[in-house]
Amino acid sequence: MCVTCGCGDAEGLDTTIDGGAMTGHQHHRITDAHNDDHLEGLGEPRLIRLEQDLLGKNKKLAAANRQFFRERETLVVNLVSSPGSGKTTLLARTAEELRARFPIAVIEGDQQSSLDAQRIRDAGVPAIQINTGKLCHLDAHMIGHAVEDLDLCKRGVLFIENVGNLVCPAEFDLGEDHKVVVVSATEGEDKPLKYPHMFAAADLMLLNKIDLLPHLAFEVDRCHEFARRANPDIEILEISAITGAGLPRWYDWIERGLESVKTAPNSEQSTPHAN
């Protein structure tokens, strides 16, 4: 068993990558140091002071992923939404229309099935499927394993399509550069008020399915206002993954992101963590 992430025990629950168990260990690019905790009192029972972030391990693994991506100058975009917002349709079209400009790879997260990864492969880019089993979100550990099996080209874009869920994925840093939240016009403009954590965590909101607006009572301006209440800095783009409306601005946003990771200062090389 690896001491860094505990792979090998039941911790991964039913999580699989492209149908297989998470096995390799190359993702442990962490040079770990023991906690410098202090023991207080000598008698028993003892009090051990920790002040430790419960998400600390995920954050550590996410930082290792981030370092790995920085070395490859890869822009990583984590797409989050409720089920049915059109993430996969958007990604398939984005992959098809941008793959000639720069390398693209996709990690698909779902509780079950590999249908989404197949849709992306059909669009002509490499994709890997993570099935989270009972879990409702992707975490940094799963991403660390998934990229071992993905041929990540330098200076490209890695899209991660998270499990359709507007709650849990907000808490888990995967090592991405940006979280992008997709809301569709068929969902109701009050989503940002109902799930504020996700909108607070995102840098960009994509309002999808705008081609359907003439048939809906969806109030676009109110949706913008609600999103900005949850996150005053959020960028908003209106798109339709079906008609292609607004997509050029989404593509510009991706290209700007890619430029910014290319020009980021290069830090030291990470070393794979031994078992």
Which residues would be at the binding site for another protein (CB under 8 A)? 6, 11, 34-35, 37, 39, 44-58, 134-137, 139, 167-168, 170-172, 192-193, 196-197, 200, 226, 228-230, 232
Nearer to another protein, 125 or 143 (CB): 143
Minimum Å gap between C-beta 100 and another protein is 38
Minimum Å gap between C-beta 48 and another protein is 5
Minimum Å gap between C-beta 207 and another protein is 18
Residues of 75-88 as b/e, b for ≥16 C-beta within 10 angstroms?
Answer: bbbbbbbbeebbbb
Nearer to another protein, 114 or 231 (CB): 231
Minimum Å gap between C-beta 91 and another protein is 24
Nearer to another protein, 36 or 268 (CB): 36
> DSSP alpha helices (H): ranges in 72-195?
87-98, 115-122, 140-146, 191-194
Nearer to another protein, 52 or 243 (CB): 52
Long-range contacts of 6-12 (CB under 8 A, 24+ apart): 7/141, 7/145, 12/141, 12/142
Residues 177 and 202 sit within 8 Å (Cβ to Cβ)? no
> How big is the chain, counted in residues?
275
> DSSP alpha helices (H): ranges in 124-264?
140-146, 191-194, 196-201, 220-230, 247-262
- Whether the CA torsion 145, 80, 159, 85 is positive or negative: it is positive
Nearer to another protein, 55 or 216 (CB): 55
Minimum Å gap between C-beta 244 and another protein is 32
Residues 67 and 60 sit within 8 Å (Cβ to Cβ)? no
Nearer to another protein, 193 or 237 (CB): 193
Residues 161 and 108 sit within 8 Å (Cβ to Cβ)? yes
Minimum Å gap between C-beta 133 and another protein is 11
